[in-house]
Chain A
Amino acid sequence: MAPIDRMRELLAGEAAGERLEDAEWLELKELLASMPHAERRREREEMEQAAALAQAAFLAGDRASWRAIPEDLRARLIAMGRARAADKAPRRPRPAARFGWGWAAAAAMMLVWLATAVWLQRPQPLMDSEAIEAAADSVSLPWSSDIAGYEQVRGRILWSDSLQAGEMRFSGLPPNDPGVAQYQLWIVDPDRYDNPVDGGVFDVSPAGESVVAVQAKLPVAEPAAFAVTLEQAGGVVVSKGPLLLIASEG
């Protein structure tokens, strides 16, 4: 089978809602990586559109299943939409006090790893920076720290809700020994989850800038903050901190 046909077969599985096996997922990632960004985005979009249009076509032929949206849900959606529009900024600003270092101190002892069996150990699509930056809802937040040995760290985290993908960049982050300790990212999405969401463990080598993909274990929306801790190899379920790095709008 030609690589393009195999890629479309895997994209079709993905668009149909199938959970690709890890080997297939890695294969798809490699096949997509061999194409220019615009082309792979088009391939994925076209397959998703075919699936969505087919879903609607089945509904078109099934009039008994046509439903009116409940009034309470309609009213709630409109209220949410209008509140969003009233907020001039594209994203709702978070109160600084809530997610600044005050939040960090309060949360330092309570980072509880959130994940489901479905998302657990699931590699997420690796998007390149360009794709994430191009998303209308992408945010880019700088890292900051007041922990000794980490004040010098520079870099940013880039995140897009619509893509559910992100990328972290660091320079000056002390290298870790992967067999002993690993860095772990936490994503704070207080509107959806009581506890921070595990954003994946990662390693930092001594050489230059590190670029790490975010591996959110649950879908997140409008994260209020991101935090990095150093944990035992493999990461932890409950972190005692400290929060070495913070990136937030506050």
Chain B
Amino acid sequence: MTDRTTPPGTSSDGVPDTPILERVASGDPQAMTDLVDTYGDLVWSLARRYFGASPLAAESVQEAFLSLWSSAGRYSPGRGSELTFVLTVARRRMVDQIRHEARFSDSVPLIGDEPDPALDGERGLAVLLDSVRLEPLLGDLSENEREILSLSLYEGYSHSEIAKRSGMPVGTVKTRIRRSLIRLRRGLKLSQEEGHRGSD
């Protein structure tokens, strides 16, 4: 496997020095490679968790990068990190894929049928994910709320499947997911505001 631990345009710890998306928007060919090498493992890992061994995983990753190339010009560091932008666009494409295929139930991860190898945690993905510091916020949710949110956002289960697994009515599942997400959003906003105040 190609060593892509420190792709061009990134520092030795794997974190981009300058926004790759700005270079993508300007048509820099190297930026296309950098974008894939910096975020490819991350987007692929999320897609694999969402779609399992289904070909939809590769399709959604391809759609995500197509979308990133198209929307790179809209990225503004003032509205969030590049990582957040990439994650948001990639998630949007995964959700589109799910809606398009209308088969949440078939998207359950296919454990045991995973042709691609597990990733060494010391590579760039560890650095990227280390910057997603949501643990304190997720910790504010109850165990049940966290589990339901994980099944929905991370594993791609439908509300009815979560209801079946948890024994809760679908309406309760829906409400808990919505309210948990609202709390996360509020917590993120507060921590960003605190961060801004701290840097003043």
| Contact, CB under 8 Å: A67 / B41 | yes
| Chain B 84-121 per-residue mask, 1 if CB under 8 angstroms from chain A, else 0 | 10011011100110111110000000000011111101
The proximity string for A residues 113-156 relative to B, scoring 1 for CB distances below 8 Å and 0 otherwise, is 00011110000000000000001110000000000000000000
Does A12 count as interface, using CB distance less than 8 angstroms?
A: yes
- The answer for the CA separation of A9 and B183 in the assembled complex, in Å, is 10
Task: Check B71 against A137 for contact (C-beta < 8 Å).
Answer: yes
Q: When the two chains form the complex, which single residue of A57, A69, A73 contacts B132, counting CB atoms closer than 8 Å? A: A57
- Classify chain B's interface size: 35 or more
Number of A residues near B (Cβ < 8 Å) is: 62
Which chain B residues border A52 with CB–CB below 8 Å? 84, 87-88, 90-91
A74 at the interface (CB under 8 A from B): yes
Contact partners of B79 in chain A: CB under 8 A: 45
Contact B177 A56 (CB under 8 A): no
Contact yes or no, A46 B185, CB < 8 A = yes
The answer to whether A238 has its CB under 8 Å from any CB of chain B is no
Q: Chain A residue with minimal CB distance to B177?
A: A16
In the complex the two chains form, is A12's CB within 8 Å of B87's CB?
Answer: no
Residues of A within 8 A of B2 (CB): 71, 74
CB distance from B31 to the nearest CB of A (A): 7
Decide: B134 and A53 in contact? CB cutoff 8 A.
yes
A18 and B174 contacting across the interface, CB-CB below 8 Å: yes
Identify A57's interface contact among B25, B66, B138, CB under 8 A. B138
Is B65 within 8 A of A71, CB to CB?
no
| Interface flags, A176-195, vs B, CB<8A=1, else 0 | 00000000000000000000
The residues of A with any CB-CB pair to B shorter than 8 Å are 8-9, 12-13, 15-19, 45-71, 73-74, 76-78, 80-82, 84-86, 88, 90, 116-119, 135-137, 161-162, 164, 218-219, 221
